[in-house]
Structure 1
Amino acid sequence: MSILPSCSQMVSFPLLLPDDSNASATLVAISAYDQSVVSARGYSTILSWLNLAGADGVEIRRELLPVGFEDFIGLGRTCADLDLAVIYSAPERLWEVDRFAENLDKQIVEAADLGAVAIKVPMGHYPGENQVDWVALSQCLTAAPPLLIENDQTPEGGTLEPLAACLEDALSAGCPLGMTFDIGNWLWTGTDPLKAARRLGPFVRYLHCKGVMSGHELLKASIPDEQELSALRSLLTYLPAQLPRAIEYPLKGENLAAITAEQLARLRHL
C-alpha cells in the first residue's frame, strides 16, 4: 500500500508487504552491483535478477542512470511488471544553506513517473528552523511520495544533532519529512549508530544495511558479518516494526541472482 503524506502529520511509509506478514520488505540498491556490470548488462537484466532473487523492491539511483536518461515511465513500468516497488534516490541535497534544493520539483516528477513509493535525498546543510520556509516545502511535498532524508558521510549531513534538529523542526512545523537510516554511514562521521537509533527512531521509515570494514585507514562498505548482524538486531529494537530495509553493500560473483537471494534472506527475518 502507498500512503501519501499530509501537511498535518509526520510522513508515513508503506510496509510494502501485507500487514500480517512476519517478515519485512527487503530491497536492493542498484549501487550494490558494480557500475560496469550494470552498464554491460542493462537495467532490464539487473531487475530480472532482483525478481528471481525474491526482492520486494529496488532503489533506483539517479546518479547511476545513463547520462541524459529520461524514460522514467518506461523504467517504472519494467519494475512494476517484475513486482518490484521503487524507492528513488537522488543525489542533490535537500538543504543548501538558506534554501531547499532547486531541483526538488524535478526529482518529485521523476519519482512520480517511476511510480516510486518514496524519494530519498541527503540532508545537506540544514539552516535551522527560523531560516526555513516550511510552508513552501510542505506545499511542494503535498502530492509527492514521502520524502526521506538520509544520514550521509559528511559532518553536516551525517551527524546526530543536525539531523535531529531538522526532523524535529519539520514535525513541529507540520511538514512531512521522514528518514532513511544508513547503519554504516554513522561510522564515517564517528557517530554511535545505537545512540542515533534511540534519538531518531520515531522518524525512521527505511533502513540502509551495510557492513563496514577498514583498511589503510579507510572505511569501505562490505557484506555484514554475523557480529554486525547481531548489532543490527539490537539497533532494530529502537526502530519501527517491519521496517523496509535495503542491501547497500557490494554484491559480486558469478551468479548474482543467487548471491542476491542469499543476502536478502539474511536481512528479511532480522
Structure 2
Amino acid sequence: KLGIWNIEVRREYFSDDLREMEALNCAKLGKRLTLFYSVPDVIFKSGQINPKLLQYFAEASLFGASYVKLNVGEFDGYRGNLGQELGTSVPKSIQLNVENDQTKLSGSAEKIVIFLGAAKKADLNIGFVNDLGNWIFTKQDTVSSSKILLPYTRYIHLKNYTIENQQTKTVPIDDGKLDWKKLLDN
C-alpha cells in the first residue's frame, strides 16, 4: 500500500526458525515485491567456496528472494574451477551480487575487481553493490574505487559518515562528509 516494491531482507535479523522465512514468502505471494537477501558472510573461506553458500541460496529460495548479496572473502588462494563450482551453487532464478564491506579482506576495490573479472571470464553473472559509506573504513578513495568497479555495479547503497574523535560514525545521508549527489553524477 506504500508503493514500496523492493525490500532488502537482512539475514542477521532472522531467528534460526525457518517459519519466519516461510511467512515472508506467504506475505510476498500475490504482491509485486522483489526481495533482496543480504547475507553477512563471504563467498570464499581460505581460498575455498564457502560450504554455507548452498544453505544461503536455499533460504533465499524459501522466501522468494530474487537477489543475494555477499562479500567476496579470501578469493586470493582460490585454485578451483570458478564457473563450475560457483556456477552450480547459484540457482538460475537468483542473481548474485557482492558488496564492499568495512574490512580490508572484502572491502578492497582491487580485490573485488579481480574476483569480478574472474567471474566474468568464467561466464558467471555476478554484479557489484557499491556501499559508498564503506570505503572510508578501508581507507580508499570513494570516487576512484567507484570508477574501478563501475562496469560491474548494479546498484548503490547510499549512506554517509562523519569522523568524531578519530572514530568513524554512520550518520543520516545529508549530514556526513560524502558528497553523495556529486558521486552519483560521476
TM-score by length of 1: 0.63
> Using a 3 Å threshold, how does the CA distance of structure 1 residues 173 and 77 change in structure 2: closer, same or farther?
same
Q: Secondary structure at the match of 2:181?
A: helix
What value does the CA root-mean-square deviation take over the aligned residues?
Answer: 2.1
* Equivalent pair of 2:43/2:50 in contact (CA under 8 Å): yes
Indicate whether 1:132 and 2:46 are aligned. Answer: no
State the shift of 1:55 in Å.
Answer: 2.8
2:57 is aligned to 108
Q: Which amino acid aligns with 2:182?
A: S
1:153 is aligned to 102
Q: Secondary structure at the match of 2:48?
A: coil
Q: Deviations over 1:148-183 (max 9, x none)?
A: 111000001101111111111111121221111101
- Rounded to whole Å, the distance in 2 between the matches of 1:142 and 1:117 is 10
Mean Cα displacement is larger for which, 218-227 or 105-114? 218-227
State the shift of 1:80 in Å.
Answer: 4.5
Q: Secondary structure at the match of 2:101?
A: coil
Q: Which amino acid aligns with 2:126?
A: L
Indicate whether 1:232 and 2:180 are aligned. Answer: yes
Q: Which amino acid aligns with 1:233?
A: K
* Equivalent pair of 1:108/1:144 in contact (CA under 8 Å): no
2:143 is aligned to 194
- Rounded to whole Å, the distance in 1 between the matches of 2:176 and 2:12 is 32
Q: Deviations over 1:58-87 (max 9, x none)?
A: 111111112x22022321222455643210
* Equivalent pair of 1:123/1:149 in contact (CA under 8 Å): yes
> Using a 3 Å threshold, how does the CA distance of structure 1 residues 226 and 219 change in structure 2: closer, same or farther?
closer
- Rounded to whole Å, the distance in 2 between the matches of 1:77 and 1:206 is 27
- Rounded to whole Å, the distance in 1 between the matches of 2:56 and 2:118 is 23
> Using a 3 Å threshold, how does the CA distance of structure 1 residues 97 and 237 change in structure 2: closer, same or farther?
farther
Give ranges in structure 1 of 5+ residues lacking alignment. 1-50, 239-270
Structure having the larger proportion of residues in strand: 2
Indicate whether 1:169 and 2:118 are aligned. Answer: yes
Tell me how many residue pairs correspond in the alignment: 184
Query: After superposition, where does 1:9-20 map in structure 2 within 5 Å?
Result: none
State the shift of 1:144 in Å.
Answer: 4.4
Q: Which has the higher contact order (CA 8 A, sep 6+)?
A: 1
Q: Which amino acid aligns with 1:204?
A: T
Same amino acid, percent of matched pairs: 27
Indicate whether 1:65 and 2:14 are aligned. Answer: yes
Q: Which amino acid aligns with 2:161?
A: V
State the shift of 1:91 in Å.
Answer: 1.6
Mean Cα displacement is larger for which, 101-110 or 75-84? 75-84
* Equivalent pair of 1:88/1:120 in contact (CA under 8 Å): yes
> Using a 3 Å threshold, how does the CA distance of structure 1 residues 80 and 209 change in structure 2: closer, same or farther?
farther
Q: Secondary structure at the match of 1:220?
A: strand
TM-score by length of 2: 0.88
Match of 2:168 among 206, 215, 219: 219
Q: Secondary structure at the match of 1:155?
A: coil
Q: Deviations over 1:103-161 (max 9, x none)?
A: 11111111112211200011112225x61321211122242401111100000110111
Q: Which amino acid aligns with 1:133?
A: N
Q: Which amino acid aligns with 2:81?
A: D
